[in-house]
Amino acid sequence: MKTHKRGQTNHYDTIWFGFLSGILVPAVIMLLFWYVKYYPAVSLGSFLTVQFKPEVVMKIVSLCAFPDLGVFYLFSRKNWNSACRGMILAIIALIVMTLVIKF
């Protein structure tokens, strides 16, 4: 494992990397949920069509965003402060999306 001396930065410690991680992790979790529970019987397109009802979207987004806490913890342990800020921005974006869909 490569370590960095004080003052050197890691190229993954960016706000964009944290933001993309915060958006992609819930998407991957939702795809895994579909694959494990519905794959042989329901196609991905019909799954997404059924799931994009306002009351269902709020539940799915909130459950899929939960693993973001684990990624945030990982970034925090590595002292990737910029990536942590990006994760916070992604979580805020998910909250805003949920509120827009609800109202």
pLDDT by residue, tens only, the chain of 103 residues: 455 555 556 788 899 999 999 999 988 888 888 888 878 888 878 877 776 676 676 677 777 778 888 999 999 999 999 999 999 999 898 888 878 877 7
Strands annotated E in 3-68: none
Predicted local distance difference test score (pLDDT) of residue 101: 73
94 Cβ contact list (under 8 Å, min separation 6): 22, 23, 26, 61, 65
Write down the pTM of the prediction: 0.76
Q: Is 94 within 8 Å of 65 (Cβ atoms)? A: yes
- Alpha carbon distance 87, 81 (integer Å): 10
